[in-house]
A and B are shown apart, each in its own frame.
Chain A
Amino acid sequence: MKPFVFVLALAPGLWLLFRTLTGRLSANPIEDVTLVTGIWALRLLLVTLAITPLRRLTGWNQIIQYRRMLGLFAFSYATVHLLIYVILDQGLAFEYILPDIVKRPYITAGMTAFVLMIPLAVTSTRGWIRRLGRRWQLLHRLVYVSAIAACLHFLWKVKVMIGEPVYYALILAALLGFRLLWRLRPTSKARQPAQA
């Protein structure tokens, strides 16, 4: 099952690579590859965040074993997305990139989303989970902030706020809302400790 999920998460990237190499992109290929990698980073981040609610609702506990892989895939797509922006789109022109990160809210949000994912990716190994103990869960709550920033990044990028960016924001709101409700449910403390 794990190899299957692996291939599934990799497929959009491979398909994009195929389209790029065979000239199947639009007249603005850099925009295409930026958009596709960014969207898949966000989608996989949302899928990762859907694991816990799904597990709680269905009792399908094994599903947790895919969470790290999906999160790392989200991080990988985000990394490629950022590299495309810095290298292909901006041509490493840091005199433009750095002011943009500070001045443009959508780029600030995107960078925030990415930077917050770095410690999560680094500490995703078994060794770090053991070493950090309870603090690991606390640290990994940063994923909520990262996902909110990622949704804002997309919302603030587009000219009219309808369609896809709005749907992702609503899905994130539902996923975070679920956690809040789960925590607030009357018996929660008695039954089990809250989890990320």
Chain B
Amino acid sequence: MIIKRPADVRPSEITDEQLYLRRREFIRLAGGAALGAAAVPFAGGWTSPLSAEGQSPLAGIKEKVVTTDEKLNSIEEITGYNNFYEFGLGKDDPQRYAGRMKTSPWKVKIDGHCAKPAEYLIEDLIKPFQLEERIYRLRCVEAWSMVIPWVGIPLSSILKRAEPTGKATFVEFQTLLRPSEMPGQASDSLRWPYQEGLRMDEAMHPLTIAAVGLYGKTLMNQNGAPIRLVVPWKYGFKSIKSIVRIRFVDKMPTTAWSEATPSEYGFYSNVNPEVDHPRWTQARERRIGEFGRRPTQMFNGYGDQVASMYAGMDLKKYY
């Protein structure tokens, strides 16, 4: 049987995936313009820069590290349900407002206790390394979770290139500070710029990656474009987004959440079903896309690879 494609639908008339994903932003932008005939060239004008900036396919992904055979969350779920307080407190705020953030050109400064401090353009930072796909669980401190196919490189590759000295015992990360493009930074919900940190061994751990993509394409802004951390055994807020600075330090860095509420968010923030958030249980979680709740796993299921780093530590004290 021959299935004929209807001749009256040209490929150009089918909504571009990129445009579809950012339809809310698009609708908001297009709202002021006359809809109908006027919207078509307008859409054409926006499609290409958005594709180039937001989601161009990433070439040369060789390695594939799959840590779970669970069902992946859809791109709509991953890009439509986010915590990124720089763009507002609502889960749909990042999708709605993150398009304003300019991610090109993007520089990342690496300094502190290292032999080769430098400021890189994002392209140059990534270029020497092989991209890998990493399928990880992500567990939010709010007791929901997803399974996400990231694309990135081991953070250790980036860090080693800077040649950290013996004094470097912690790594500090900072997100972009640009209130003109990040409306949430006008509010004092957290101290800006958002800051996070890892112990050196955590930062160098092979599971820790600097992600630049998702589902084989570059990250969208709401997911932390153009480069973010992914530390799959820690609560999601440790995986800082839209990084502009990486600093080797000799003291435990302050972090945005532990500074805001020290009794609720510690430096380590390892996923731990036995240590509750003071206000809610961490024993169970909702996998986005599912009803009900499933048990949360120690270290988000990555204990066999990371538990040794915390041997002998009282994880109730170092939450």
Contacts and interface: CB of A to CB of B under 8 A. Distances in A.
Interface of A: 26-28, 30-31, 88-91, 93, 96, 100, 104-106, 156-160, 162-163
A106 B293 CA distance: 20
The listed residue with most B CB atoms (<10 A of its CB), out of A26, A88, A100, is A26
Interface of B: 73, 76-77, 80-81, 85, 89, 91-92, 142, 144, 187-190, 260-261, 279-281, 283-284, 286, 288-289, 291-293
13 contacts: A26-B92, A27-B80, A28-B144, A30-B291, A91-B292, A91-B293, A104-B280, A104-B281, A105-B279, A157-B279, A159-B261, A162-B187, A162-B189
Contacts of A31: 91, 144
Given A27-B76, A27-B81, A28-B91, A160 B279 contact: no
A66 B116 CA distance: 72
Given A90-B293, A91-B293, A26 B80 contact: yes
Nearest to A32: B91
A28 B283 contact: no
A61 B279 CA distance: 43
A31 B92 CA distance: 13
B77 A27 contact: yes
A156 B279 contact: yes
Contacts of A104: 279-281
Contacts of B89: 158, 160, 162-163
Nearest to A158: B89
B23 to A, nearest CB: 13
A157 B261 CA distance: 14
Given A27-B80, A28-B91, A88 B291 contact: yes
Contacts of B281: 96, 100, 104
A162 B91 contact: no
B281 to A, nearest CB: 7
Given A106-B280, A159-B261, A162-B187, 15 more contacts: A26-B81, A27-B73, A27-B77, A27-B289, A28-B91, A28-B286, A93-B293, A100-B280, A104-B279, A156-B279, A158-B89, A160-B89, A160-B189, A160-B260, A163-B89
B279 A106 contact: yes
A96 B292 CA distance: 12
Which are the 7 A-B pairs with shortest beta-carbon distances? A27-B81, A27-B77, A91-B292, A160-B189, A27-B288, A162-B189, A26-B81
Contacts of A93: 293
A124 B131 CA distance: 66
